[in-house]
Amino acid sequence: MLHFIHSLPKIELHLHIEGALEPEMMLKLSHANGIPIPYQNLQEIRRAYQFGDLQSFLDLYYAGASVLCKQEDFFELTWAYMLRCHQERVVHTEIFFDPQTHTMRGIPLETVVRGITQALKKAKEELGISSYLIACILRHLSEEEGMRTLEDLLDFRHEVIGIGLDSSEVGNPPSKFKNLFKRAKEEGFLLVAHAGEEGDSSYIQEALELGVCRIDHGVRCEESLELLEVLRSRRIPLTMCPLSNYALKVTPNLKNHNLLRLLRYGLCVTINSDDPAYFGGYMNANFEAIAQALHPAQDELRQLSLNALEASFLPLDQKKEIKALILEYS
């Protein structure tokens, strides 16, 4: 099973590039850029990786992101992730980044986008890995602040394919950003949103009403049978993140995770790593964790990869090529 997982062609649709900041790089950039962080060494950073909930993780996540200052920092971070994709046979990835996390610190948006896209281009040319970039709006901030960020992103429409929604979920429902998502859709951006991670199933319903193509997480969809049928009949993808859900206490243990149950019910469920540096694993580790806890058949693991391909924003011709790769693998 491990050999099957490691060699299976995979597609990742839920990865926050700031969440791929490994402790070693965090410490190195902290020293190089003169940005203090509340940790003196790797051991202190790793001890902080014990989270009680989403907010406790976000506190460390934003502290870590503060060390990213220069274009080469964003390049180095992204290139390290793309090398990991190559090692784990991720053939396509659609990456989130948080513009406001950086612009509110005075880092120009161009610095962030250019650094990330430089690495993505290098990965396409040298590793054969395709990718898209999605900008996530921070939901704990106001819609007005998000709208200003959207305006700034209009200058990068060739680099940024979609708009997402992340950060503290409870108390910040998707409907808070109704006007922003309407404008983003009018400007031609594809839409996704985090929903149903800590927020209840109504957050998922609200996200669908905004016109999103995918639901990021969506673990609480079973609270509404009507919603469940909508997700199944419309093949709305759920980009689930098992190790993240366990680390943030969304599920008490992976044996209780509903990923496989939803897959067998006919939903377009996918596996992703979310913030792998913080949650203990990249794509292979997430597949392995599900395999160990839920004992899926190999065909079910293959279907998870096929679902991710279906849910991706790739054009049909590229989907056909990758589908052939997945289907011929055994």
Q: What is the reported pLDDT for 40?
A: 86
Strand ranges (E), 102-230: 130-138, 162-166, 190-195, 214-217
**Structural domains in the chain?**
2-325 (3.20.20.140)
Q: State the pLDDT confidence band at 311, using cuts at 50, 70 and 90.
A: very high
Report which of 149, 148, 114 is spatially closest to residue 133, judged by C-alpha positions: 114
Q: What is the rounded average pLDDT for all residues in the chain?
A: 96
Task: Report whether 136 contacts 98 (CB < 8 A).
Answer: yes
pLDDT of res. 49: 83
How many of the other CB atoms lie within 10 Å of CB of 43? 10
Predicted local confidence at residue 267, as pLDDT: 98
Q: Give the number of other Cβ atoms within 10 Å of residue 159's Cβ.
A: 17
- The Cα–Cα gap between 216 and 164 comes to 9
- Residues 312 and 209: their CA atoms lie apart, in Å, by 20
For residues 188 and 60, which has the higher predicted lDDT (pLDDT)? 188
Predicted confidence band of residue 133 (pLDDT cuts 50, 70, 90): very high
Residue 35 has pLDDT above 90, yes or no: yes
List the structure tokens of 181.
Answer: 């998502």
pLDDT band at 53 (very low <50, low <70, confident <90, very high): confident
Closest-CA residue to 220 (of 208, 241, 202) = 202
Indicate whether 330 pLDDT > 80: no
> What is the model's pLDDT at position 63?
83
In terms of pLDDT, which residue wins out, 50 or 192? Answer: 192
Number of H helices, E strands in the chain: 17, 8
On the question of pLDDT at 317 being above 90, the answer is: yes
Q: From the centroid of its chain, how far is CA 295?
A: 24
State residue 198's pLDDT score. 94
284-304 pLDDT, tens digit per residue, is 999 999 999 999 999 999 999
Q: What is the 3-state secondary structure (H, E, C) of 232-262?
A: HHCCCCEEECHHHHHHCCCCCCHHHCCHHHH
Rg (CA), the chain: 18
Query: How crowded is the C-beta side of 16, counted as CA atoms within 13 Å?
Result: 31
| DSSP H or E run through 279 | helix 276-279
Strands 162-166 and 190-195: parallel
| pLDDT at 237 (0 to 100) | 98
Catalytic hit among 94, 197, 198, 206 = 197
Averaged pLDDT, 253-281: 97
**197 in catalytic set:** yes
Give percent above pLDDT 90 in the chain.
91
Per-residue pLDDT band at 52 (split at 50, 70, 90): confident
For the segment 58-77, the average pLDDT, to the nearest whole number, is 93
CB atoms within 10 A of CB 253: 8
Q: For 155-181, what is each residue's pLDDT tens digit?
A: 999 999 999 999 999 999 999 999 999
Do 268 and 309 form a contact (C-beta atoms < 8 A)?
Answer: no
pLDDT tens digits for 139-157?
Answer: 999 999 999 999 999 999 9
If pLDDT is split at 50, 70 and 90, which confidence band does 56 have?
confident
In sequence order, the 6+-apart residues with CB closer than 8 A to the CB of 71 are 111, 114, 115, 118
Q: Tell me: pLDDT of 274 over 90.
A: yes
Structure token digits, residue 58: 């976000």
The more confident residue out of 112 and 43 is 112
Residue 20: its pLDDT value, please? 97
